[in-house]
Amino acid sequence: MPFFHKLSDVPSSSIQSTTSYSVRTIHDAFRFGFKSLPLNMDSYHPLEVALNSWEHKMYNLKMQSLDRIFGISEPIRRKMELKILDSGFRSLIFGKPSNIHHDILNGNDSDIDIDEIFFGFDFIFFN
């Protein structure tokens, strides 16, 4: 038997994944072949994907309810205002950019995130 053999000759039961979803690793091209687009899509934690999907669904539901109550002008106006806020320039002279405008337009102004309390302490959590 030659030393170098094809990946298809190796039984698939001997290849095991011992990594966690939360730990990003380098793709092993010798063992699993070249990286493809679906492998990149699975690099996020399933809980993160579910939370992003939930937020997207709630945003669409809110826009649909605004459309039913106030007409099509209200969702269009809110999307337009969010786009204006995203394209706006804020100089560092005026301080750190604030997301209070986004929070008000999205209805999250009464929510408190961890970033609003512990800003500037990123090195504690990630080192």
Q: Where are the alpha helices (DSSP H) in 11-72?
A: 29-32, 37-41, 46-70
**CB count in 10 Å sphere of residue 66:** 17
Query: What is the domain extent for residue 33?
Result: 12-41
* Domain contains 5: no
What mean pLDDT do residues 113-119 have?
A: 73
Task: Check: pTM over 0.95? Answer yes or no.
Answer: no
* Domain contains 21: yes
Q: Which two tokens stand for residue 13?
A: 């039961």
pLDDT digits 0-9 by tens, 18-76:
555 566 677 777 777 776 655 455 577 889 899 999 999 999 999 999 999 999 999 99
Instruction: Looking at the structure, tell me whether residues 18 and 52 fall in a common domain.
Output: no
* Domain contains 90: yes
Instruction: Looking at the structure, tell me whether residues 83 and 31 fall in a common domain.
Output: no
What pLDDT, on the 0 to 100 scale, is given for residue 66? 93
Measured CA to CA, the distance from residue 4 to residue 1 in angstroms comes to: 9
What pLDDT, on the 0 to 100 scale, is given for residue 120? 61
